[in-house]
Amino acid sequence: DAKTTQPNSMESNEEEPVHLPCNHSTISGTDYIHWYRQLPSQGPEYVIHGLTSNVNNRMASLAIAEDRKSSTLILHRATLRDAAVYYCILRSDRGSTLGRLYFGRGTQLTVWP
Amino acid sequence: DTEVTQTPKHLVMGMTNKKSLKCEQHMGHRAMYWYKQKAKKPPELMFVYSYEKLSINESVPSRFSPECPNSSLLNLHLHALQPEDSALYLCASSQGTGTSYYGYTFGSGTRLTVV
């Protein structure tokens, strides 16, 4: 399975933008890039996903490099409620990997007031 | 209803006990999942059900037995567990296992302690 690499931790101040990087140099053409976050004592929460083009939704934006070997999750204005572990995940729908969502180590985001 | 509901939220069981975890969703999702999460670690996939049939078993020990009685309900039956099985057990659902879905929805989990 293709792997992702994320920094262990990042910090931000409240109301500032946050850019969370993810490297996935072994990504294949059919792998979707997914982001989930997990707040303390909760299950993971879907944030955003994309294939090739940049994506925006009410929670965040996803910027995907042209060669797709890296991506960045952008939180436009961090709030205290955004403090969580953010997981960058590649999801393949080929053969035996169909339906599998494998979590990497994730990035712990700390937001300071 | 846009939630996955897991019960109980907390469970303490002895190594000789038999217990079950329950997961329910009413979003019409046809794929359901069980994950196990140890403290400070990412979730690990255990089982995948697609259209009420088990499609993936990630070499999980037989003391964990999943069941999908209908499209809305997923159970995880536990028997003769070990203390190292203590973890947060997460249930998730998605529209399907293909790429046409919009993300997995996770429950808040059952915190299991085996004594």
**How close A75 gets to chain B, by Cα (Å)?**
18
Q: Give yes or no for A59 touching B (CB within 8 A).
A: no
Helix (H), strand (E) at residue A53: none
**How close A93 gets to chain B, by Cα (Å)?**
6
Query: Per the CB < 8 Å rule, is B97 touching A99?
Result: yes
Q: Is the CB of residue B92 less than 8 Å from the CB of residue B35?
A: yes
Q: Is the CB of residue A85 less than 8 Å from the CB of residue A106?
A: yes
Q: Give yes or no for B73 touching A (CB within 8 A).
A: no
DSSP secondary structure, chain B, as one string? ---EEEE-SEEEE-TT-EEEEEEEE-S---EEEEEEE-TTS--EEEEEEETTEEEEE-S--TTEEEEEEETTEEEEEEES--GGG-EEEEEEEES-SSTTS---EE---EEEEE-
Q: Give yes or no for B57 touching A (CB within 8 A).
A: no
* Closest Cβ–Cβ partner in A42, A98, A105 for B108: A42
Q: Give yes or no for A55 touching B (CB within 8 A).
A: no
CA distance to A10, A88, B75, per residue, from B67 (Å): 40, 29, 5
Kindly report, residue by residue over A31-55, the tens digit of the pLDDT.
889 999 999 889 999 999 999 999 9
Query: Per the CB < 8 Å rule, is A99 touching B4?
Result: no
Give the best residue of B3, B58, B99 to mutate against chain A (max A CB count within 10 A).
Answer: B99
3-state secondary structure A59-98: CCEEEECCCCCEEEEEECCCCHHHCEEEEEEEECCCHHHC
What's the one-letter identity of residue A104?
G
Which of these, B25, B107, B34, B5, lies nearest to A38 by C-alpha position? B107
Query: Per the CB < 8 Å rule, is A100 touching B56?
Result: yes
Q: Tell me, what DSSP letter sits at residue A24?
A: -
pLDDT of residue B98: 66
Query: Per the CB < 8 Å rule, is A36 touching B108?
Result: no
Neighbours of A39 (CB within 10 A): 14
Both tokens of residue A103?
């979590």
Kindly report, residue by residue over A52-100, the tens digit of the pLDDT.
999 999 989 999 999 999 999 999 999 999 999 999 998 876 665 566 7
Cα(A112)–Cα(A9) distance, integer angstroms = 13
Cα(A88)–Cα(A69) distance, integer angstroms = 12
Q: Give yes or no for A99 touching B (CB within 8 A).
A: yes
Q: What is the pLDDT along chain B (115 residues), one digit of tens a residue?
A: 779 999 999 999 999 999 999 999 999 998 899 999 999 999 999 999 989 999 888 899 999 999 999 999 999 999 999 999 999 999 999 887 665 556 889 999 999 999 9
**How close B108 gets to chain A, by Cα (Å)?**
4
